Amino acid sequence: SRIPIMRLSLLALLTLASGASSEPIFNADFEEQDLFTADAYASSSDGNLSVERGLLKGRGQLIATIDGDGLEGDNPWFGAASQWWGAMDVGDATPAQLKLTARVAVPEGSPTGPVVLSLKDEETGATWSFQATTTEEFVTIGGTLDDSAVENPAPLTPSGNYSIFVAFAEATWNGWSGEPDAINTLLFDDVKLERVNRDVRLQPASEAAANTKVAPKQPMPTYGKWHQSRLGGGGYWMGVVPTRDADVFYTFSDVGGAWRSDDGGASWRSLNRDLGGEDAGSYVRSLDVDPRDENVLLMASGSQWYTGGGLYRSTDAGLTWRQVVETPVMGNEEARMAGTTIARSPADPDRLVFVSAGSVRVSSDGGRTWSTVADDLFGDLFPSVVAFDAATPDRVLVGGQDGENYVGGWSPEGPKQYLGGLWLSENAGETWRHVSDEDVVELAQLPGDEAIYGVFNYDTVQRSTDGGETWSELRDGLPAPTGHNIIGTGRLQGLTAGPRFLLTINGQGDVYRLDAGESRWQQVRRTHVDDDGWYGNVPGEERKPGSHEGWVHFGKAAAFIGVDPTNADRWFMTDWYAVWRSEDAGRTWAISIDGLENTVSHDLAGQPGSPNVVHWGMGDNGYLRSSNGGRSFVDISFPANGGGSNVKDFGQSTADPNRLYATTNKRPGEWEAAQLAVSNDAGKTWRNPTMAGLPSDMGETRRMNSVTVCPNDADRILVGVSGDPAKHGGVYESRDAGETFRKLGSGLPANEFGTYFQTNVWAVGNELSLSGDGSAVAFSQDGRFVHRLDGSTWTPVDHDFGGQPYEVVADARHDGRFYLAVVGSGLWQSVDGGVSWGKLWSGSAYYVAVADDGRIAVGHETGIVVYDDGAWTEVAGDLPVRRRPIPAFAGDRLHAGTHNMGSFWRELKRR
């Protein structure tokens, strides 16, 4: 999900007295076409929304229009925004001494939705939002949006880089015409930032902390010589597991592995370890802790897309693991938000049941050894949850859900059809019988209560008073079902028991509580959510200040709700993006994310001549930029073309270090690369070139994973386009920075898939590279072909590389010198434009980076080797995740992008 801008939390309350304004620090309107980016964010209930800059009665405007069809139905809404990015001098002003204003108008009608202005300090990532919701703000073009809410009075960077974000917030709009032919218009104009004199009284820090329950931000963890970059979250967090120690918790995710906290959930440290196969330890489905020893763990982990996986056991808090069951575990499949697949008997902690696709296993020795039971019964089971009945310890319940899933990778025969339902065992799992066909996804039980509670079909809670034989609905007070929408208000995705109450949670993070002896659920009303500066909550997208209603990221697709057994008021919640903690029984929530990184890297690049600047291309989160050597990153939005949420590849030229190219997605939210973006200021701002001459179906059927730039001409680029090279696929060249393209060369063949270049955004590095003398090297999607450019013809390279090429890079300092990373073989070098090749390093190479001073780094199957002064050295032994890292040099630092845990950096001095 795209996360276009940051939001910081309210850390102190302000009492403000207005004063006289001085000369504006910033003053602009929308007729300055290069200043604001129109349509930086836009969506509506039916998509009939347009956002543009233009002239209306001679004035420059940001104009949002939506036709009457977009306002039909019970809950019509739209949201639109525009953004400016640039240098600004605010002197020694504090946020409380700044006044951000704009003119807004509604020529027709009187809408009541909110409008937001946000100022963000790009150097620190801090953001301050100014928001208004009253109808009188919208009466005429002279209406003013003023400082209705000022957040986080922290110091500003006196002379730094800032962005201004203006938004018609996503919300229901009343008073507009819903007639089919009606055109409704909302205008934003004349954005101004002024310094004013104000008296500021800060709430005492101790009082603020007592009110918000915010844990102090912890330093990012280090792993040996490696430092973790701060971004936070990503992926899907599956749950939080308490232990007998009130300070020790575990959490786990669908692609990032497992983590441990030793400070009550304030900060976390990775337990990710390569477990062989396709790194099965990253895709954790369930985690269990021995109630007698917080260092003894069981972890069910694996992916439906790869072989390997199963159940693993650790006796040293996850430092080392031993596989005790080999079986398919689908830790990142679509139903992964359901309950646990490992259950431990409350009467005998050595007795356990583990369920996986098509099988049930039991252990009587604490999980050291396992035996399979009832294979013939569970052959088609797709398990969601397993639980012991505390009132009858030999009784075990297994719930499943129907659906299609691959096992062990894609199959031309298609996915396997699995079944749901409910099964019972009366002898601790030895024999079973089927009792229901309904999908059961969660189970829970109140202490001392014989009743068993379950979430059925993701939309209702049911109760059984006869050990699971029969069930009755218990949904009074719960929201109406909303179908299969994972973020629906009526989709229930968690169930847990406190000492005298049950909790369930929906896809919007709303918590419902059922007290013991009651029959009606009560919603737990949130009063405050503190995200502690996290990038994932977007200003301008909630319906009223502080409400966290609308599209904010708190609680989206919530997977888990849990109660600390040592403290009934401490609750944990996990969602798509983060772990959240409440210390007051769900009234206020604080993010618990320090050390948790579950984000996917596509590419990393240093900035020539500026070692503190690092560029990061990511899946889902788009482009991020660091100006402090990789310690932290800020999100910078790409031009509004619907894409920008996935950034696959960077292209740079030593001829102009500030010129940066990127390939990104063209269709909203898609995992693809089909659009070119260009920056002329080292990644601070971006534009989309016209790309005239490229095939018209870019993004629909064609992909463009790779871009390469001539080292001595920053305007000259090559891109690789998927599809048959004899038709519209192949290599295209631009001599004007991507504005126009022409097909370059002939001779590239199509493989059995009808393409030369890769279509899958995940399956390849840079597959095309251009040298300063005009020579170029490319390789095919299936690794069968490597070609070099010989004049106007692509000529096959007559060499057996012993494996599949994965990335090719030209050495900018030496014309005709190329490096080719080959899976299963190693790193190869050519010094004559790709004609002949010699091996530099033997191994399984995936990625290669070349430093300005000639050092080389190779990201291989389980780490990174660096070539310096005639020797190769392994440098990634301490990385918590070492599978196929993406290396990048930035001065004397080596950065490593991972495919599931963000990025890391370490100092790397010359030998």
Each residue's pLDDT tens digit, 296-343: 999 999 888 877 789 999 999 998 899 999 988 888 887 788 899 999
- 16 vs 418, which has greater pLDDT? 418
Tell me what pLDDT residue 599 has.
87
Please compute the mean of the pLDDT values over residues 369-378 and round it to a whole number: 82
* Contact yes or no for 324/336 (Cβ under 8 A): no
Residue 552: which pLDDT band, with cuts at 50, 70 and 90?
low
- Mean pLDDT value across residues 363-368: 97
The pLDDT mean for the chain works out to 82
pLDDT band per the 50, 70, 90 thresholds, residue 547? very low
For residues 33-46, give the mean pLDDT.
60
Phi, psi torsion values for 71, nearest 5 degrees = -110, 15
Reply yes or no on whether the pLDDT at 214 is more than 80.
Answer: no
Higher pLDDT, 354 or 485: 354
Which segment of 275-284, 385-394, 802-811 scores lowest on mean pLDDT?
275-284
Q: What percent of the chain has pLDDT over 70?
A: 78
Q: pLDDT at position 151, please? A: 42
Asked which of 62-71, 119-128, 638-647, 735-744 is least confident by mean pLDDT, the reply is 62-71
* Closest C-alpha among 659, 663, 641 to residue 650: 663
Band (pLDDT 50/70/90 cuts) for residue 23 is: confident
Report pLDDT digits (tens) over 784-799. 899 999 999 999 999 9
pLDDT above 60 for 525: yes
Stretch 893-906: mean pLDDT, rounded?
94
The predicted-structure confidence for 650-668, as pLDDT tens digits, reads as follows: 999 999 999 999 999 988 7
* Residue range 741-767: mean pLDDT, rounded: 92
Q: Give the pLDDT band of residue 84 (cuts 50, 70, 90).
A: confident
Helix (H) or strand (E) run with residue 169 in it: strand 159-172
pLDDT (tens digit, 9 = 90+) per residue, 763-787?
889 999 999 999 999 999 887 899 9
Q: Are strands 528-530 and 588-591 parallel, antiparallel or unpaired?
A: parallel
Query: What would the two tokens of residue 795 be?
Result: 């000529």
pLDDT at 527 over 70: yes
pLDDT tens-digit readout, 814-869: 999 999 999 999 999 999 999 999 999 999 999 999 998 899 999 999 999 999 98
Q: How far is CA 704 from CA 651, 740, 837, in A?
A: 13, 15, 27
Closest CA to 664 of 599, 618, 725: 618
pTM given for the model: 0.76
Does an H or E element contain 205, and which? helix 205-212
Residue 352 has pLDDT above 60, yes or no: yes
Q: What average pLDDT does the segment 88-111 reach?
A: 67
With 90 as the cut, is the pLDDT of residue 14 above it? no
pLDDT greater than 60 at residue 742: yes
Among the listed residues 42, 110, 44, the one whose alpha carbon sits nearest the alpha carbon of residue 72? 44
Mind listing the pLDDT tens digit for each residue in 616-637?
999 888 899 999 899 888 888 8
Residue 543: band (very low, low, confident or very high) from pLDDT cuts 50, 70, 90: very low
Q: Which of 227, 232, 271 is nearest to 252 (CA)?
A: 271
Residue 184 forms beta bridges with which residues?
66
Q: How far is CA 495 from the centre of its chain?
A: 25
User: Which pLDDT score is estimated for 546?
Assistant: 43
Strands of 565-668, DSSP E? 567-574, 579-582, 588-591, 600-607, 610-619, 622-626, 634-635, 647-652, 660-664
Q: Is the pLDDT of residue 203 over 70?
A: no
Whole-angstrom Cα distance, residue 704 to residue 730? 10
Mean pLDDT for 495-513 is 95
pLDDT at position 194 is 81
Alpha-carbon distance 175 to 714, whole Å?
Answer: 52
CB 895 within 8 A of CB 905: yes
User: Tens digits of per-residue pLDDT, 553-587?
Assistant: 788 899 999 999 989 999 999 998 899 999 999 99
DSSP code, position 808: E
**Confidence label for 32 from pLDDT (cuts 50, 70 and 90):** low
Q: Please state which of the ranges 98-107, 110-119, 894-903 shows the lowest mean pLDDT.
A: 110-119
Query: Where do the H-state alpha helices sit in 120-173?
Result: none
For 50-56, the CB contacts below 8 A with 24+ separation are 51/80, 51/81, 51/82, 51/640, 53/82, 54/30, 55/31, 56/187
776-779 and 310-314: which strand pairing?
A: unpaired
User: For residues 578 and 237, what is the distance between their CA atoms, to the nearest angstrom?
Assistant: 6
Nearest to 306, CA basis, from 322, 323, 330, 284: 330
pLDDT classification of 726: cutoffs 50, 70, 90: very high
Instruction: Provide the pLDDT for residue 577.
Output: 86
What pLDDT, on the 0 to 100 scale, is given for residue 70? 53
Tell me: pLDDT of 545 over 60.
no
pLDDT, position 730: 96
